[in-house]
Amino acid sequence: MSEFKRPEWGSQDPEESYRSGYQDGALAALQAVESGMTTDELKHWTDVKLQKWRHDRSAFPTPPK
């Protein structure tokens, strides 16, 4: 059992997937800001491009640039 009381690897726990996605999203947003993206551009990316990607089941697993 992990120190965070989550099941070990191999689990299909939706909470674990949610947390992984949240961490990945935070990292992508940070990298965008560090690369010079403005907050308006980041908001557009999140509200338009990322949302379309999230709902497209045929899309690659990595988020759009």
Number of domains in the chain: 1
Residue 18 lies in a domain: yes
Instruction: Show the domain range for 18.
Output: 14-55
Residue 25 lies in a domain: yes
Give pLDDT, residue 3. 59
Give pLDDT, residue 4. 53
- Which residue reads 């759009």 in tokens? 64
Give pLDDT, residue 1. 46
Per-residue pLDDT tens digits for 14-52: 777 778 788 888 888 899 899 999 999 999 988 888 888
Segment holding 20, helix H or strand E: helix 14-34
Measured distance CA(39)–CA(29) in Å, rounded: 10
Measured distance CA(57)–CA(33) in Å, rounded: 27
Residue 36 lies in a domain: yes
Residue 30 lies in a domain: yes
CB 8 within 8 A of CB 1: yes
Give pLDDT, residue 44. 92
